[in-house]
């Protein structure tokens, strides 16, 4: 029914203003959501998505190859990770636009499109590795064909993103963050020398061989990833749209930025704690058992079974599947946000697919191409290495551009980032620059 060209809205139907006009959505299903999950925001989901199956494989390999010797890197990277994610979220909330939409106004078009294109390639490779790991893990649990399972996961994640509105998809992602506790439970199921863990955490045991430093670079690239910048900023924009799309008063912005700060601190800390526990499992079970080479998260789960028992295996394998269901939508959507914003297309997971066809087309293509890569002779772990190289190349200029934007009053108004965030943000940018140079050195030699 229409009244004077507008949708007639019932009293119990919340109004959401989209670019295409007012839209009516079903009332929120809050009664089905535990109270603590209602306070979980984009920062926590972003942090959880960082611990995707590919990341789990990297953390496990670090533990299997170097024992507890690299645990210190998890907490060294934490303040830099928090700072750069705070910057991206602040940009999204204050400007009401995503990272790429802001960069579009300040970077030459060829440079922006080049960076976004590389991001899409890296994300697609990451999706391929994650979906392959999910398929292999489900095969280990129930048998069957890993390729069939991978195809099923690819289709499920596409359907979730295309046909489930952001408001409901966000609730699904919030629930999936809880599955990361499977890795905490895995630690409790195995024997751990906590004295050695704490010592190596506080006293770094530096080595000077190439493999050691390349693993540090891999850990940094896994922890600070460009797709997370685009995702968190765009989710702040989505949250703003759910409130009507207006920036609001300065007091409203302050309240939201306080929430963003708390949310990001919790999310990134949670992410790195999970990474810590995964490395501890790799060190305590695989390294101690003489297994020093892990090429995938599914292989890590399989290697745990004879050394730590069925319970640890089930927890680890289940965690891979659940975190993949969380991470793949984030990878595909962040690529779609970046491309759509760069070209000025309609975008947003709350929009119907008919309103943002190009946006949803990118999500679909990235996910299905990633799934299809698992059916080719391409080694997903070698491809993942190149994904890390690409991410290292993309991350540094994007981080530098974001740091410039967040200090400009003409972009942020009175809500520019504080001095501590600036120092840590630029420190993180320099750290990623070092990582990119090390990767380049490794490729040359």
Q: What is the pLDDT of residue 312?
A: 84
Q: What is the pLDDT of residue 215?
A: 86
Condensed to tens digits (0 to 9), the pLDDT of residues 74-86 reads: 989 999 999 999 9
- Residues 198-219 have a mean pLDDT of 84
**Does 360 score more than 50 pLDDT?**
yes
**Does 6 score more than 90 pLDDT?**
no
3-state secondary structure of 282: helix
Q: What is the pLDDT of residue 5?
A: 38
CA distance 398 to 99: 9
Q: What is the pLDDT of residue 388?
A: 75
**Does 421 score more than 70 pLDDT?**
yes
**Does 21 score more than 80 pLDDT?**
no
Q: Given 3-state DSSP classes, what are the helix, strand and coil percentages for the chain, each rounded to the nearest 5? A: 75, 5, 25
- Residue 426: pLDDT band (50, 70, 90) is very high
- Residue 30: pLDDT band (50, 70, 90) is very low
Q: What is the pLDDT of residue 344?
A: 93
Comparing 40-44, 261-265, 270-274, 307-311, the range with the smallest average pLDDT is 40-44
- Residues 145-170 have a mean pLDDT of 90
Residue whose token pair is 């045991």: 205
- Residues 92-97 have a mean pLDDT of 92
Instruction: Enumerate helices (H) and strands (E) in the chain, giving the number of each.
Output: 19, 4
Condensed to tens digits (0 to 9), the pLDDT of residues 107-144 reads: 899 999 999 999 999 999 999 989 998 998 999 889 99
Q: Which of 219-223, 267-271, 383-387 has the highest mean pLDDT?
A: 267-271
Q: What is the mean pLDDT of the chain?
A: 85
**Does 29 score more than 90 pLDDT?**
no
- Residues 220-229 have a mean pLDDT of 90
Domain spans, the chain? 2-444
Cross-strand partners of 21: 18
Distance of CA 418 to the CA centre of its chain: 25
Angle between helices 419-444 and 72-95 (to 10 degrees): 120
Q: What is the pLDDT of residue 16?
A: 44
**Does 13 score more than 50 pLDDT?**
no
Residue whose token pair is 């990451």: 126
Q: What is the pLDDT of residue 142?
A: 92
- Residue 416: pLDDT band (50, 70, 90) is very high
Instruction: Report the share of the chain in percent with pLDDT over 90.
Output: 46
CA distance 293 to 297: 11
List of residues 6+ apart from 338 with CB closer than 8 A: 98, 99, 100, 116, 119, 120, 230
In contact, 41 and 260? CB cutoff 8 Å: yes
Q: What is the pLDDT of residue 386?
A: 76
Counting Cα atoms < 13 Å in the Cβ hemisphere of 313 gives 16
CA distance 87 to 16: 27
CATH hierarchy code of domain 2-444:
1.20.1740.10
Condensed to tens digits (0 to 9), the pLDDT of residues 58-77 reads: 898 899 999 999 999 998 99
* Closest by Cα among 65, 137, 95 to 299: 137
Specify the length of the chain in residues: 445
Condensed to tens digits (0 to 9), the pLDDT of residues 167-193 reads: 788 788 878 888 888 888 888 888 899
**Does 28 score more than 80 pLDDT?**
no
**Does 35 score more than 60 pLDDT?**
no
- Residues 90-114 have a mean pLDDT of 93
Q: What is the C-alpha R_g of the chain?
A: 21
């Amino acid at each position: 029914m229409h009244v004077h060209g507008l949708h007639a809205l019932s009293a119990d139907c919340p109004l959401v203003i989209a670019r295409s006009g007012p839209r009516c959505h079903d009332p929120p299903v809050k009664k089905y959501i535990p109270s603590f999950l209602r306070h979980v925001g984009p920062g926590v989901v972003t942090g959880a998505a960082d611990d995707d199956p590919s990341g789990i494989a990297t953390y496990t390999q670090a533990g299997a190859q170097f024992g507890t010797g690299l645990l210190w890197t998890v907490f060294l990277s934490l303040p830099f990770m928090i700072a750069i994610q705070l910057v991206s979220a602040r940009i999204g909330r204050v400007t009401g636009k995503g990272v790429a939409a802001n960069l579009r106004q300040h970077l030459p078009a060829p440079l922006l499109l080049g960076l976004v294109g590389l991001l899409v390639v890296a994300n697609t490779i990451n999706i391929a590795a994650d979906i392959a790991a999910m398929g292999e893990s489900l095969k280990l649990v129930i048998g069957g064909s890993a390729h069939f399972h991978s195809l099923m996961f690819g289709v499920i994640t596409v359907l979730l993103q295309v046909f489930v509105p952001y408001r409901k998809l966000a609730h699904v992602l919030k629930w999936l963050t809880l599955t990361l506790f499977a890795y905490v439970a895995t630690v409790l199921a195995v024997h751990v020398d906590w004295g050695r863990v704490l010592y190596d955490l506080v006293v770094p045991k530096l080595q000077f061989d190439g493999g050691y430093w390349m693993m540090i670079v891999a850990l940094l690239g896994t922890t600070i990833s460009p797709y997370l910048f685009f995702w968190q900023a765009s989710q702040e924009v989505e949250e703003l749209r759910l409130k009507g799309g207006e920036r609001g008063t300065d007091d409203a912005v302050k309240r939201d930025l306080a929430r963003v700060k708390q949310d990001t601190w919790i999310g990134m800390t949670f992410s790195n704690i999970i990474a810590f526990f995964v490395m501890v499992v790799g060190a305590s079970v695989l390294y101690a058992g003489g297994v020093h080479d892990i090429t995938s998260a599914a292989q890590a789960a399989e290697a745990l079974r004879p050394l730590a028992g069925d319970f640890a295996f089930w927890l680890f394998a289940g965690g891979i599947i659940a975190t993949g269901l969380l991470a793949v939508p984030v990878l595909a959507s962040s690529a779609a946000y970046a491309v759509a914003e760069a070209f000025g297309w309609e975008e947003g997971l709350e929009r119907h697919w008919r309103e943002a066809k190009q946006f949803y087309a990118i999500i679909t293509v990235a996910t299905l191409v990633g799934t299809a890569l698992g059916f080719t002779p391409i080694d997903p772990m070698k491809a993942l290495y190149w994904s890390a190289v690409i991410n290292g190349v993309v991350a540094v200029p994007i981080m530098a551009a974001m740091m410039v934007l967040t200090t400009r009053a003409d972009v942020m108004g009175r809500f520019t980032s504080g001095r501590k965030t600036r120092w840590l943000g630029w420190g993180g940018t320099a750290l990623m620059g070092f990582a990119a140079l090390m990767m380049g050195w490794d490729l040359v030699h």
